[in-house]
Amino acid sequence: ARWWKALTMAVLNWMLDYLTLVVALVAVGAKPRVSLVLLAFGASAVLGMIPITPGGLGFVEVGLTGILTVSGIPADSAALATLTYRLFQFWLPIPAGLLAYMLFRRRYGKLSELPLAGGV
């Protein structure tokens, strides 16, 4: 059951993403309530899905900072934690993706040279 493995990895990805936000908050000295951070995390995920900018760039940061501030985190800590979180969640995976793409191209060549699924 390949879907089970994919589902497990997706849930693990969301959990680690949430923990990244919690760790960022603790690292800046905030004392977050995990339930409110979970609410802010969910809202920021929804903001990231709105197709105005790639990855919700800008909207996620403003929305997440605002929600964290409303939930009791000082504004400066919320802003710093949000930027730290987005560094790990959005920006650092980009070079990793580029490296994966280059390794893929080295191993398999151009996409047009790959056989199509089902032998078509």
pLDDT score at 100? 92
At a CB cut-off of 8 Å and minimum separation 6, what does 34 contact? 22
Cα separation, 101 vs 86, whole angstroms: 22
* Domain coordinates in residue numbering, the chain: 2-92
Q: Give 8-34 pLDDT, tens digit per residue.
A: 999 999 999 999 999 999 999 999 899
Its pTM stands at 0.77
pLDDT score at 119? 56
- Provide Rg for the chain, Cα atoms: 18
Of 107, 69, 84, the residue nearest 22 (C-alpha) = 84
Residue with more model confidence, 51 or 16: 16
pLDDT score at 118? 63
User: Which amino acid, residue 56?
Assistant: G
pLDDT score at 113? 67
Residue with more model confidence, 116 or 17: 17
Q: At what angle do helices 75-86 and 2-27 cross, to 10 degrees?
A: 140
